[in-house]
Chains A and B, each alone.
Chain A
Amino acid sequence: MLWYIGRRLLQMIPVFLGATLIVYLMAFYTSGDPILALAGDKPISPAVEQQLREQYNLDKPVLVQWLIYLKNVLTFDLGVGFNGRPIMDQIAAAFPTTARLAIIAVVIETLFGVIAGVISGLRKGKLIDTTLLMLSLLLIATPTFVLGFLAQFVFGLQLGIAPINVGRDPSWVNLLLPGFVLGGVSFAYVLRLTRTSIAETAEADHVRTATAKGLSRGGVVSKHILRNSLIPVLTFIGADLGALMGGAIVTERVFNVPGIGTLLFSSIISGESPMIVSLVTLLVIIFLLSNLVVDLLYGVLDPRIRYAK
């Protein structure tokens, strides 16, 4: 088991190197000259320009910039952003908010998605099943920003029960509505995955046996159907955690949340490579870690799956 975890962690190193290099190259070749963008349409004297280029290592070849970046990562000092603040500090300030948002979203999608999926799967073909399926289709088809504006308009402006602008105080309560919006689409997927899986398992031999033995309906559902149906759902949720943090760009913008998504958006606009790379790398690491946790949970749900060696 430990050996397995160790091996998985070691595998992250090449992924980390590859991801940062690719993102570095992309940021370097797509965003134009960040120093000129920094100056706007204004003139900037060659001496000042030179000074700024040296300050941000922009006078060096892109591969050298990347190596400097890697060296910085090893020393936990990512340097200073164009706004004069350490990149580490900026990420540290934005991360907790986005993490909170993502946790709310995951809890919402898991809780409601699984419950609705179980109801739907056990009542396959009934009115409630059809209704939930339609609802999930609608959610999947609606772009997040539409959902966001709609929620903002109804709950913020019309009813006045949720803040329109979360930025002023991103507390758990204030993040509930954005969390719902962020988790909305994933909720629909969790519902559909759970439903299919439940419906399949409900007809399996061991379920019929358990029912025949006279176990209560609740016992059958929780111990024999649900537990065996959760693996695909868990896989999805694990992969979704990373996606949610990245997908927060839209939701954070709509609700004015000062998180990772907002930071990523503004650093892409200003072509701030070290910041973009750091954020993307962070997302990659979260993605890899959550996948690892999911793989380990497989063994808990289904003892036939073992990772020992």
Chain B
Amino acid sequence: MAISRRSMMLGTAAGGAAALTLAACGGDDGGSGGGSGAGGGSGEPIYANTTEPENPLIPTNTGEVGGGRIVTMLFAGLVYYTADGSAENDIAESIESEDNQNWTITIREGLTYSDGSTPITAQDFVDAWNFGANAANAQIGQYFFEPFEGYEELSAEDVAEDATLSGLEVVDDLTFTARLVSPQSDFPTRLGYSAYMPLPPSAFDDIEAYGESPLANGPYILESWSHDTELVLVPNEHYDGPRAPQNSGITFTVYQDPETLYLDLQSDNVDVVDQLPGSALATFEDDLGDRAVNDPGAVFQSITLPGYDKNFEGEAGTLRRRAISRAIDRQSICDNLFFGTRTPATDFVSPVVPGGGATDIPGSEVLEFDEAEAKKLWDEAEAITPFEGPLTLAYNSDGPHADWVEAVCNSLSNVLGIDAQPTPFAAFGEMREQIRARELQGTWRSGWQADYPSAYNFLGPLYGSAAADGNGSNDGDYKNPDFDQLLSDGLAAETEEEAIALWKEAEALLMRDLPVLPLWYQNTIGGYSTLVSDVEYGWDTVPLYHQVTK
């Protein structure tokens, strides 16, 4: 998914950009579920920050961090993600395939929703996925069903409301099969994403009303939701799984301004925080000491140089892309503007997912700052076809981007001797509209937050030909058959190591062609109060709330 609109707006320093949590401390800790009730904690709930969920809490219609963190606590999917980003079974007994294309999924026996009487069945998964995939229901997460057979039919403009995915079949109460359009070796890893949660039969009676107070199967129950103010979650005593709550509940408070949030954190009014104001970036590690969190996260930031811009076409274009990349001093911007809360990129995949943060991709020296080399490359490009300036770098000023965009443009002007201009858009939607219509001239800032911890999620949706021309998130319309081939070879690979090796080869092609210039990975930043312990943040920058003790 990507950095959602709301997180861009609020994320002055946006540690809190993450899409989803699903994670846990591996293993079974203490007061495990299965009816043992309120987990290990008692008394005061954990207080945490959130933004108001943008939609009712329907898993397939939740694509932003505010709703995602709640949905992940309320629902349990087939798998969940541990802090290091590996996928473990949550309610799945097994997820098996011989060819990475035809999958058989079995769920554990005897599980129920939080009412204790509605059993969780294979049919619930199939119904929920069919609902999400059917365009008539206009779910934001609809594209997550793209890998399934029958997705094309369900994406037609006038699809019948009861049409279903031909690739899904119920075998018995606990087993169902999924047929994909092509092999996808990371399919089980995806299933921890919120779009793949099960829904009880009663959900479909009135889905909007259901989203206000969902009957779900996760570690927590939604006790109350005062819109724009707070959401109160209490442990679900019928949850029997690896994410048993270690506290007596979580109260999420909606914060409008990260400054207020930070003051509340300093006075112990809020316990676990994953967002900081820009003004605290320089000082929060001193202010909070051991309670400060600052580690690389699953957010990748870049500048897109569109393939349809004449300046970036052909041989001159390739040279020019390299020249611009080498004229940006990533380290200095990360240190001076972001106070070390960004990590300079060495590849196209965030270091928190397996195979990401690689430093051995051939051609990756193009990401290193070198004024002389930049100037030389630019002059070579000029000798072939002259640049038609000025060079514009568009960004949305409702997010925290003005400073670094200014810095990058200054650097380009100084090093290359060209006219580089920051081009602000007042609203994110305004910029998206122009990108979508392919009307935005020049370059623009872009970002990506992984939906699930797989290197493929940083590559396929962004640079694959299938996602170009408005069919996905390949906004620069990068097309390279060799790259596509390596991507799909990786998906068909038998082991993860094999897949990663192939995807690294694909990344080497990106280093050569530079459809986007990698800038930096956004760190998980945040902190916690003096009242709590066992605080850990997931691969996706969201805290693992269930294991926090107070």
Mark A residues whose CB is within 8 Å of B: 30-34, 36-48, 50-52, 55, 82-85, 90, 93-94, 149, 152-153, 156-157, 160, 163-165, 167-168, 252-256, 258, 262-263, 265-266, 269-271
Contacts and interface: CB of A to CB of B under 8 A. Distances in A.
Interface string B56-72: 10000001100000000
Contact of A165 (B227, B264, B433, B448): B264
Given A83-B52, A83-B55, A41 B473 contact: yes
27 contacts: A31-B429, A31-B430, A32-B427, A33-B432, A37-B5, A37-B429, A39-B432, A40-B3, A41-B432, A43-B467, A44-B143, A47-B157, A47-B159, A51-B135, A83-B54, A83-B56, A90-B227, A157-B263, A160-B267, A167-B255, A167-B256, A255-B260, A256-B254, A256-B255, A258-B227, A269-B9, A270-B5
Interface in B400-443: 425-433, 436
Contacts of B472: 43
A175 to B, nearest CB: 14
A254 B255 CA distance: 10
B211 interface: yes
A51 B138 contact: yes
Given A40-B64, A46-B157, A252-B256, A258 B431 contact: no
Pick the 6 closest A-B CB pairs, nearest first.
A32-B430, A41-B2, A37-B429, A32-B429, A47-B135, A51-B138
Contacts of B53: 83
Nearest to B56: A84
A152 B55 CA distance: 31
Contact of B2 (A42, A45, A252): A42
A169 B436 CA distance: 42
B409 to A, nearest CB: 22
A41 B475 CA distance: 9
A167 B63 contact: no
A60 B289 CA distance: 55
Contacts of B398: 269
Contact of B436 (A36, A168, A265): A36
B99 interface: no
Contacts of B55: 82-84
A50 B433 CA distance: 15
B138 A52 contact: yes
A37 to B, nearest CB: 3
Contacts of A42: 1-2, 63, 140, 143, 473
A168 B229 CA distance: 6
B492 interface: no
B54 A51 contact: no
Interface in B67-121: none
Contacts of A52: 138
Contacts of A90: 227-228
B458 to A, nearest CB: 13
B467 A40 contact: no
Interface string B132-158: 000111111011000000000001110
Contacts of A34: 429
Given A33-B430, A37-B432, A258 B259 contact: no
B253 A156 contact: no
A30 to B, nearest CB: 7
Contact of B1 (A41, A48, A85): A41
A43 B259 CA distance: 32
A34 B431 CA distance: 11
Interface of B: 1-6, 9, 52-56, 63-64, 135-140, 142-143, 155-157, 159, 208, 211, 227-230, 253-257, 259-261, 263-264, 266-267, 269-270, 398, 425-433, 436, 446-448, 461, 467, 471-473
A186 to B, nearest CB: 22
Given A45-B135, A254-B260, A39 B140 contact: yes
A50 B157 contact: yes
Contacts of A255: 260
Contacts of B1: 40-42
B260 A43 contact: no
Given A34-B429, A40-B5, A165-B255, A263 B228 contact: yes
Contacts of A50: 157
Nearest to A50: B157
Contacts of B253: 165, 167-168, 256
A33 B259 contact: no
A169 to B, nearest CB: 9
Contacts of B266: 157
B427 A269 contact: yes
Contacts of A168: 229-230, 253
Contacts of B56: 83-84
Given A50-B157, A82-B54, A270-B5, A152 B432 contact: no
Contacts of A44: 140, 142-143
A38 B140 contact: yes
A155 B472 CA distance: 50
Contacts of A38: 5, 54, 140, 429
A271 B431 CA distance: 13
Contact of B431 (A32, A47, A84): A32
Nearest to A53: B138
B138 A84 contact: no
B371 to A, nearest CB: 32
Contacts of A43: 143, 461, 467, 471-473
Contacts of B448: 41
Nearest to B428: A37
A45 B63 contact: no
Which of A32, A41, A51, A256 has the most CB atoms of chain B within a 10 A radius of its CB? A41
B373 to A, nearest CB: 31
B60 to A, nearest CB: 11
Contacts of A47: 135, 155-157, 159
A64 B416 CA distance: 50
Contact of A30 (B269, B427, B432): B427
Which of A33, A46, A50, A254 has the most CB atoms of chain B within a 10 A radius of its CB? A33
Nearest to B270: A165
Nearest to B158: A47
Which of A42, A51, A52, A258 has the most CB atoms of chain B within a 10 A radius of its CB? A42
Contacts of B433: 32-33, 36
Which of A32, A90, A156, A252 has the most CB atoms of chain B within a 10 A radius of its CB? A32
Contact of A164 (B52, B269, B425, B467): B269
B142 A45 contact: yes
Which of B266, B471, B473 has the most CB atoms of chain A within a 10 A radius of its CB? B473
Given A44-B142, A256-B256, 18 more contacts: A31-B427, A40-B1, A40-B64, A41-B3, A41-B446, A42-B143, A43-B143, A43-B473, A46-B157, A83-B55, A153-B263, A156-B263, A157-B266, A165-B261, A262-B256, A269-B9, A269-B398, A271-B429
A262 B228 contact: yes
B148 to A, nearest CB: 13
Nearest to A93: B227
Contacts of B157: 46-47, 50
A40 B4 contact: yes
Contacts of A157: 263, 266-267
A149 B259 contact: yes
A64 to B, nearest CB: 20
Contacts of B54: 38, 82-83
A52 B61 CA distance: 12
B264 A37 contact: no
A31 B139 CA distance: 23
A82 to B, nearest CB: 7
Which of A93, A157, A256 has the most CB atoms of chain B within a 10 A radius of its CB? A256
